[in-house]
Amino acid sequence: MLVSIIIPVYNEENFIKELLTRINKINNINKEIIVINDKSSDRTKNILENECNFLYSKLIHNERNMGKGYSCRKGILEAKGEIIIIQDADLEYNPENYYRLIKPIQNKETEVVYGSRILPGGKRTRPKTFDFVVRFYANLFLTFLSNLLNKQGLSDCHTCYKVFTASTLKKIELYENGFCFCPEVTAKVSRLGIKIKEVPIDYFGRTHDEGKKIVYFDGFRAIYSILKYNLSKKT
């Protein structure tokens, strides 16, 4: 069973090579690695082309900086695997968790798995900064709002680690270009009547000074997107 790992990348010169190296060390998973460089303005493109060209299956360059959702959609179109994993390009998430993430799909328990940063069972470090604390509680609120509307009962709907059967993900029409890819895909999976399974994952949070991209305005966009896609009848 081929697993497609989709990695949207924007300005990750300090992390991308280490991430790809770690993914390639994951054994016993037949995988393809699709990297989408979202018009990075640092050395990311140079590193990908000259230092990491043996560490991925396909490299795509966006002509403009379009956002995570746009990059994920491009990766989904290129994916040949039966399972698709969304992987952020920083080192907040541990690729060694792939085994536990794909197992429920391999066992035919579900078609969609989310890796939870909240459920007990993972190794975690969380910066004790005001910014990080705000983002932590904002995620809890957004997850609560999402659950209220789609009845999924998730603990962490905005996690990076989202895993799908390709047949499920490719039949969903996705439109969001930015971080609102997360509430959109959650709402649309829910409308298909699919119960999302969560598994605990490792998480090593970082701050904006360390390269975190999400900003406060993204939280308000997420609220709008949760309401829009959960209340709309259109798939």
Domain ranges for the chain:
2-231
The C-alpha atoms of residue 117 and residue 137 are separated, in whole angstroms, by 13
The separation between CA 32 and the C-alpha centre of its own chain, rounded to angstroms, equals 16
Measured CA to CA in angstroms, residue 105 lies from 85, 111, 197, 226 at distances of 12, 6, 9, 25
Structure tokens belonging to residue 235: 């798939």
The C-alpha atoms of residue 37 and residue 63 are separated, in whole angstroms, by 9
We find that the CATH architecture of domain 2-231 is Alpha-Beta Complex (3.90)
Measured CA to CA in angstroms, residue 27 lies from 2, 23, 58, 96, 99 at distances of 13, 9, 19, 9, 10
Tell me if 197 sits within 8 A of 103, measured CB to CB: no
pTM of the model: 0.94
Low-confidence ranges of the chain (pLDDT < 70): 207-214, 216, 233-235
The separation between CA 51 and the C-alpha centre of its own chain, rounded to angstroms, equals 24
pLDDT on residue 126: 81
- Picking from 156, 69, 72, 70, the residue whose alpha carbon sits closest to that of residue 113 is 156
Query: What tens digit of pLDDT does each residue of 109-127 get?
Result: 999 999 999 999 999 888 8
Question: Please, what is the Cα angle at 49 between 86 and 178, to 5 degrees?
Answer: 35
pLDDT on residue 48: 98
Query: If 0-12 CB within 10 Å is exposed, 13-18 middle and 19+ buried, where does residue 6 land?
Result: buried
pLDDT on residue 217: 76
